[in-house]
């Protein structure tokens, strides 16, 4: 088995999920973090909401790491959205969007951060964000029963 890694470095990633009740699962990462996901009957995030969260979160982290080198943001909000559709390809998301609303302080440092913001968003989308790059490029998923 590949060694588990965390953070932004390269390496193997995995989670495990255990059923709590009908349609509700507890997810655990290798560092011991947990969360619940569900089918939309509770406040728990649904898998589609987690996909949107992963796309937005990945880019948000990238953009934050790049822009904070110039100035600390006064506010930093990211919204992700899309439409769940069903067509000849089955259920999938369409029209995915990520929108950043970030404000920086007045002054030279804030000006540099504001100037870098669109570049940082483009860098994340085009090269850095593993999640959105995987969605855009596509990757086969090997689904099956675990070996004992």
pLDDT at position 2, please?
A: 59
pLDDT at position 5, please?
A: 62
Question: Phi/psi of residue 80, each to 5°?
Answer: -125, 140
Domain ranges of the chain: 15-45, 46-137
pLDDT at position 10, please?
A: 85
pLDDT at position 4, please?
A: 60
Only one residue has tokens 């088995």, namely 1
Distance of CA 111 to the CA centre of its chain: 27
pLDDT at position 148, please?
A: 76
Right CATH for 46-137 from 1.10.4160.10, 3.40.630.30, 3.30.300.20, 2.60.40.10: 3.30.300.20
Helices (H), the chain: 47-67, 108-123, 130-137
Q: What is the mean pLDDT of each run of 10 residues along the chain (148 residues)?
A: 66 91 93 93 94 97 98 98 96 97 98 98 97 95 90
Return all residues near 93 (Cβ < 8 A) that are at least 6 apart: 48, 51, 82, 83, 84, 85
């Amino acid at each position: 088995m590949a060694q588990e890694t965390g953070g932004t470095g390269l390496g193997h990633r995995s989670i495990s999920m255990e059923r709590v009740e009908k349609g509700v699962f507890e997810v655990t990462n290798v560092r011991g973090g947990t969360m619940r996901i569900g089918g939309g009957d509770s406040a728990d995030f649904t898998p589609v909401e987690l996909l949107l969260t992963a796309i937005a979160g990945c880019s948000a982290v990238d953009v934050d790491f790049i822009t904070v080198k110039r100035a600390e943001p006064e506010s930093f909000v990211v919204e992700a959205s899309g439409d769940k559709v069903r067509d000849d390809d089955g259920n999938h998301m369409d029209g995915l969007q990520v929108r950043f609303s970030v404000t920086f302080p007045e002054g030279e440092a804030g000006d540099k951060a504001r100037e870098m913001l669109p570049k940082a968003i483009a860098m994340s989308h085009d090269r850095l964000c593993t999640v959105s790059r995987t969605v855009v490029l596509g990757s086969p998923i090997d689904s099956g029963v675990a070996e004992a």
